[in-house]
Chains A and B, each alone.
Chain A
Amino acid sequence: ETGVTQTPRHLVMGMTNKKSLKCEQHLGHNAMYWYKQSAKKPLELMFVYNFKEQTENNSVPSRFSPECPNSSHLFLHLHTLQPEDSALYLCASSLFRVGGGETQYFGPGTRLLVL
């Protein structure tokens, strides 16, 4: 496969469930991101990993727990979510470049519904 892949594409879970979202990039990048896209709101950056180290946590509730075992894989572990967490969760990757300006490449997203 090429580019950025995400699984599952769709997920329905109850508020007491525990689930995980997976992201994999095949672009040789070293930075990975999680975004949340809700209706009527701009994309919200959740987490950033550079070289497997978390460099940004944008005040995300602890019921979202990211994991980055290597530069190609990124997970988002979910537990005791709320209905307002229902959204499209997008993963992205980029090269890390001093000074910024890296282009981010996005996966197709996981559509999450919390009941």
Chain B
Amino acid sequence: AQSVTQPDIHITVSEGASLELRCNYSYGATPYLFWYVQSPGQGLQLLLKYFSGDTLVQGIKGFEAEFKRSQSSFNLRKPSVHWSDAAEYFCAVGADAGGTSYGKLTFGQGTILTVHP
């Protein structure tokens, strides 16, 4: 079965500093990987996704993530954080169950990002 671990429950950074949120996954084949962001009281918004090809993926709001198969990781990065980036971030892995897959996603526990001015 697939699983996702986000080791950091809460991260605090200063505005303008760089950011890296960690995500490790467990899956037997090539995974589909996603990062979502959730602002308080809101649903999840897709930041970026990896299906195949280039292992460095660009997303919205200046975020990027790098798929590293050898480390089973898909860490999210941003070179300069803005106060509006404060939110909760979720990493997810999608199943590939062959011809019957319906796109089941398994989510990590989330990382809460606090941004200090």
Given contacts A43-B90, A102-B94, contact A107 B43 (CB under 8 A): yes
A101 to B49, CA, bound (A): 9
Contact, CB under 8 Å: A42 / B96: no
A61 to B44, CA, bound (A): 25
Whose C-beta in chain A lies nearest to the C-beta of B110? A42
Interface flags, B64-98, vs A, CB<8A=1, else 0: 00000000000000000000000000100011111
* Residues in A whose Cβ lies below 8 Å from that of B102: 31, 48, 50, 55-56, 96, 100, 102
Within 8 A of B (CB), among A31-74: 31, 40-43, 45, 48, 50, 55-56
Give 26 pairs: A residue, B residue, CB < 8 Å, sorted on A. A4-B43, A40-B109, A42-B4, A42-B110, A43-B90, A45-B105, A48-B102, A48-B104, A56-B104, A90-B43, A94-B103, A96-B103, A97-B101, A98-B101, A99-B101, A100-B101, A100-B104, A101-B32, A101-B103, A102-B94, A103-B49, A105-B46, A106-B36, A106-B44, A106-B45, A107-B43
Interface on A for B, CB 8 Å cutoff?
4, 6, 31, 40-43, 45, 48, 50, 55-56, 90, 92, 94, 96-109, 111
Interface on B for A, CB 8 Å cutoff?
4, 32, 34, 36, 41-46, 49, 51, 90, 94-99, 101-110
Which of A90, A94, A97, A101 has the most CB atoms of chain B within a 10 A radius of its CB? A101
